Amino acid sequence: MPEDRSRSDRRLTRGARVGRRTVHGGHGRRGIPGAELLRHALDSTRDCGPPPRLLASAAPGRRPSETPRMSTTEEKAPVVRRGPARAPRLRLVYSGDVLVPPSTFVVSHGETPIGRDVPAGVRLAQDGRASRLHATLHRGALGMLRIVDEKSRNGTYVNGRRVEEASLADGDVLSVGDSHFVVRLEPEDLGDAPVPALVGTAPCMRALRRAIHEVAPTRATVSILGESGCGKEVVARALHDLGRPQGPFVAVNCSAIPETLAESQLFGHVAGAFTGAVARPGLFRAAHGGTLFLDEIGDLPPALQPKLLRAIEDHAVLPVGATSPIACDVRIVAATNRDLRAAVEGGAFRGDLFARISTFLLEIPPLRARREDILELLLHALGAPRRRLSSALAEALLLHPWPFNVREVLALAAQLRIRGGSADVLDLDLVEGRLTPAPAATGDTDEDDEREEAAAEKEPPPGRVELEALLQKHRGVVADVARVMRRSRKQVYRWITEHGVDVRRFRG
């Protein structure tokens, strides 16, 4: 019979029982509207054609703190279905040791039961740690959601904190047994457009792919905004492949060009332009007929900014030492993780250049804004053969803030490949210290953990046969064995060492 979550499991998430309180997790920004990824700046329409369509937010101008309070009035019996969503929804991403393609449960007004054996609602038939009736989801008149634990055996968790009752916000991670959901409160537009390099089913990623398809066939200058490591060059290459695949794609990091050589690097130079100079075409002309990707454009030397503006405006470059410009057919895609408006106001970036490169803005959402994509991204990075993730590892991945975005996922996948070997199930101990646990909730104290483990220590330690049976049952996932035994993972590892058990035998 499934046991309560123990110290070892709660240490992963820093979980604590919280009675009737609202829980807001430590994700960073919350409520980022998925459709508001695209902004249109006023600009000359000489080379743009019709202006791009603005994708409106589902709740224009609303900040996360302004989310309306949920009505507690209960209404008619709910209807739960999978399909096109125009209501609050749960996105199931992991259930019962199985990574599932994110499936959307759309919830109408009233009460929705969640459990292993519920006649209607969210049924988790494959999750052995979910109670028959585990929790109930309440949806109020304004579309807000509240989760109520139904005295479940293993608890209900929101952002890693055990709760009896809590309001749910957009982007929250809801854990029931060994099933993990991502909560979405914004209406979902299921329209999508194929961009194979951009993995993810989150609403904000579908909006980004649609925007890429909109602007790619035009000649508009595009600026890509996003945090470090979120894949700006991947988006730039997608724009090129969909718009100018027959031409070259040339990428340059503006922060890596020495200021004294920047003009020559970009625009080229004629023979004799300086001592020993041999004619060079420059990156603009190297990208003729294709795309020039100017990464970290916010670091472009100030002296070069007016010359770049002239090249974009005139579709021509003036090589160093030349007396007449040379026509150049280049599509400019720029990228930055800096706030260029602030740089303009501070005098570090020219306002006219900012206006010129802002014909079309694409904003890549940070990974923490699309948590339903995290597990699939990791498995995509791991490659073949496809692995399974332990529930403890899956939950830790969903709760991690991912400050370095997709680049951090790639690094974590590399570590898992090395340390996981040929194991079929990857466990949390393989990336010990790499993932940040959720912040501790009120009432979660070391004293509580010590009391619980002290009670468990009164029980006799397992023998080798019993320990191997538990490892066999849980496929070598030490965190799951520790949770069942209500002991820390360190203690389980001590027993493993004492008995000379090779855990890898049970992970294949």
Highest-scoring range by mean pLDDT, 45-59, 390-404, 445-459:
390-404
Please give the DSSP secondary-structure letter assigned to residue 269: B
Q: How confident is the model at residue 273 (pLDDT cuts 50, 70, 90)?
A: low
Q: What gap in Å lies between CA 38 and CA 202, rounded to an integer?
A: 16
Highest-scoring range by mean pLDDT, 251-260, 271-280, 433-442:
251-260
Sign of the C-alpha dihedral computed for residues 32, 36, 38 and 44 taken in this order: negative
Reading the block at residue 163, the tokens are 């709760």
Lowest mean pLDDT among 64-73, 301-310, 484-493: 64-73
State the pLDDT at residue 93. 92
- pLDDT, mean of residues 284-299: 92
Is residue 160 over pLDDT 70?
Answer: yes
Phi and psi of 105, rounded to 5°?
A: -100, 110
Is residue 209 over pLDDT 60?
Answer: yes
State the pLDDT at residue 321. 73
- Residues facing residue 110 across a β-bridge: 139
Phi and psi of 90, rounded to 5°?
A: -110, 135
Q: How confident is the model at residue 378 (pLDDT cuts 50, 70, 90)?
A: very high
Q: What gap in Å lies between CA 422 and CA 424, rounded to an integer?
A: 6
Alpha-carbon distances, residue 395 vs 180, 239, 400 (angstroms): 7, 34, 9
Q: For residue 296, is it left (φ>0), alpha (ψ between -120 and 50) or beta?
A: left
State the pLDDT at residue 190. 63
Burial of 342 (0-12, 13-18, 19+ CB in 10 A): exposed
101-147 confidence digits (pLDDT tens):
668 888 878 899 999 999 888 999 888 889 999 999 999 877 788 99
Read off the pTM: 0.69
Instruction: Check: CB of residue 266 under 8 Å from CB of residue 252.
Output: yes
259-270 confidence digits (pLDDT tens):
777 778 888 767
Sign of the C-alpha dihedral computed for residues 416, 420, 426 and 430 taken in this order: negative
Domain 221-358, CATH class in plain words = alpha beta
Is residue 455 over pLDDT 80?
Answer: no
CA dihedral of residues 310, 316, 320, 321 (deg, nearest 10) = -110
Residue intervals of the chain classified under CATH 3.40.50.300 are 221-358
321-333 confidence digits (pLDDT tens):
777 888 889 999 9
Is residue 493 over pLDDT 90?
Answer: no
State the pLDDT at residue 454. 53
Alpha-carbon distances, residue 349 vs 155, 263, 423 (angstroms): 53, 17, 51
- Residues facing residue 368 across a β-bridge: none
Q: What gap in Å lies between CA 425 and CA 420, rounded to an integer?
A: 8
Q: What gap in Å lies between CA 467 and CA 215, rounded to an integer?
A: 59
Is residue 238 over pLDDT 80?
Answer: yes
Is residue 407 over pLDDT 90?
Answer: yes
Is residue 484 over pLDDT 60?
Answer: yes
State the pLDDT at residue 276. 63
Q: For residue 7, is it left (φ>0), alpha (ψ between -120 and 50) or beta?
A: alpha
Instruction: Check: CB of residue 408 under 8 Å from CB of residue 374.
Output: no
Is residue 154 over pLDDT 80?
Answer: yes
Is residue 57 over pLDDT 90?
Answer: no
Element containing residue 208 per DSSP (H, E): helix 203-215
